[in-house]
Amino acid sequence: MILINTYNNLKIKIEEALINKIGEIAIQHFPNEIGGFLIGKYSNNHSLVEIEDIILPNKYKNSPTMFQRSANDLSEEFKKEFNKNQRFYIGEWHSHPNASTMYSSMDLKAMIETVNSPTVMITNPILLIISTNNSKINNYTFYCLSENKLHKYE
């Protein structure tokens, strides 16, 4: 499936199977939030980002209304993805159990902090928020950070 962000025309390509995989992980952790990193590739002209897989954090804190991950111990995993598959960090995902897929002020702050990190080399990371209950995906929404704002994909 291909989604378009009307704000900056950046397109996302993602397979439904990957969304289902993310949903299964979210359902397994229900009623707590869970999340991880989106990895993939940009087209040569940076008009399309292909989300190809995820990396789960080894260390995190979560509750029904909060997810905090650490990436400190994942540098080798990201290097392996780049060296083996030419894929790199393109954004993040997390769940909102039985809740809206609207981002929170904390979500926006976390994405801005990510862009300002010296180890992140992209300026427009993708955020996926997926809503689940204890047995299925309710909804999901993609956002792109641009000019310190999250812009929704249609």
Strand order in the sheet with 126-132: 2-4, 11-14, 48-55, 35-42, 88-97, 126-132, 137-146, 149-152
User: Which of 115, 73, 119, 66 minimizes the C-alpha distance to 94?
Assistant: 66
Q: Is domain 2-152 annotated with CATH 3.90.1170.50?
A: no
pLDDT of residue 20: 97
Q: Is the pLDDT of residue 34 over 90?
A: yes
pLDDT of residue 9: 85
Mean per-residue pLDDT, 2-20: 90
pTM of the model: 0.93
pLDDT of residue 73: 82
The DSSP-derived string for the chain is -EEE-TTT--EEEE-HHHHHHHHHHHHHHTTS--EEEEEEEE-TTSSEEEEEEEE--SEEEEETTEEEEE-TT-HHHHHHHHHHHS-EEEEEEEEEETS-SPPPHHHHHHHHHHHTSTT---SS-EEEEEEE-SSSEEEEEEEEEETTEEEE--
| b/e sequence 34-63, b meaning 16+ C-beta within 10 Å | bbbbbbbbeeeeeebbbbbebbebeebebe
Distance separating alpha carbons of residues 55 and 78, to the nearest angstrom: 8
Q: Where are the domains of the chain?
A: 2-152
More confident residue, 18 or 45: 18
pLDDT of residue 4: 81
